[in-house]
Amino acid sequence: MPMAREGDLSRPDGRIVHWYEDGPADGVPLFWHHGTPNIGQPPGPLMSPAADRGFRWVSLDRPGYGGSTRREGRCVADVAEDVAAVADELGIARFAVAGHSGGGPHALACGAMLPDRVLATVAVASLAPYGAAGLDWYGAMGAGGRAELEAAAIGPAALRAQLEAEWDPEMFTDEDHGVLAGAWSWFGGIVKAAMAHGPDAMVDDDLAYVTDWGFDPADAAANPVLIAHGGRDRVVPMTHGQWLAAAIPGAGWRAYEGDGHVSVLLHADDLLDWLAGAVEHRKVG
């Protein structure tokens, strides 16, 4: 039976974590990690493809977004604590994880920090760690996104000032704009919801990306990992995905050369097929 529900979980530090669950009740739990700025609502365009492959979505609003209390000064690795707590609350022992854009590092954090619970990890259009050896971290980024992350590296005040600048549509490719107007117009609603309380959560995300993540991405290799990226991505250049795929032992790699940051999600069927196969292999093994 399909189900769609959400709720609030109280954490020991007094925060509230808002969670979501949607899809077949007997499906394999798949934790979704949202981008920046988004809320954790499960990805509408992927509901049916995931259900067809036996998955149900579980997700949460990162601190400061949606119904989750802000956690100022958080690092990327901190997400694992909240994911584990939500899984415990929902009676979930093991689960797969997937993340897009800013959700990619957070998905990898779960793979690295919760190796006994994560079955497999997919990171799509993900950033690599700030200062990653041998990577021109800002190279080939669109002007708007680069200015935002360069400001984050300077500090919160510079970042807040930069976020007041006019949005740069050139950060997305023609393919991205096409899918944002069509198949993935869903993003419009969750971005609006993410910014409803102001920019604090986006500030915290960006600061976390340009500081120590709190874990080594290579540790995500305890379970199967797939890194996927669009070759024309201007928000997070494909060199970031290539770096992650090389740094994580045994990681799979998908390069969609004609796609940008959002249009890469049109290949979700391929990525979900890989994930279903990886999970099934773990069950058999």
- pLDDT of residue 283 exceeding 90, the answer is no
Question: pLDDT tens across 132-167, in order?
Answer: 999 999 999 999 999 999 999 999 999 999 999 988
Per-residue pLDDT of 109-127, as tens digits, reads 999 999 999 999 999 999 9
Q: Is the pLDDT assigned to residue 285 strictly greater than 80? A: no
Average pLDDT, the chain: 96
Q: Would you list the domain boundaries of the chain? A: 2-284
Residues 6+ apart with CB under 8 A from 264: 124, 125, 228, 229, 230, 233, 256
Helices 200-209 and 143-154, packing angle to 10 deg = 80
What's the pLDDT tens digit per position in 76-110?
A: 999 999 999 999 999 999 999 999 999 999 999 99
Percentage of the chain lying above the pLDDT 90 cut: 95
Q: Which two tokens stand for residue 3?
A: 């189900």
Q: Which CATH class is domain 2-284?
A: alpha beta
- pLDDT tens-digit readout, 52-81: 999 999 999 999 999 999 999 999 999 999
Is the pTM above the cut of 0.85? yes
CA dihedral 195, 196, 197, 200 (to 10 degrees): 0
Work out the pLDDT band at 44, boundaries 50, 70, 90: very high
d(CA 239, CA 192): 29
H helices present in the chain, as ranges = 47-52, 79-89, 103-113, 143-154, 156-163, 174-181, 186-194, 200-209, 238-247, 268-284
Express as a percent the part of the chain with pLDDT over 70.
98
Torsion of CA 182, 55, 29, 277, to 10 degrees: -110
User: What single-letter DSSP state applies at residue 167?
Assistant: P
Residue 173 has pLDDT above 80, yes or no: yes
Q: How far is CA 240 from the centre of its chain?
A: 14
Contact 107, 78 (CB under 8 A): no
Structure tokens at 201: 């959560």
**Looking at residue 284, what is its pLDDT?**
53
Tens digits of per-residue pLDDT, 238-264?
A: 999 999 999 999 999 999 999 999 999
Quick one: pLDDT at residue 281? 80
* 3 DSSP β-pair partners: 23
Pair of tokens at residue 28: 């394999």
Per-residue confidence (pLDDT) for residue 282, from 0 to 100: 76
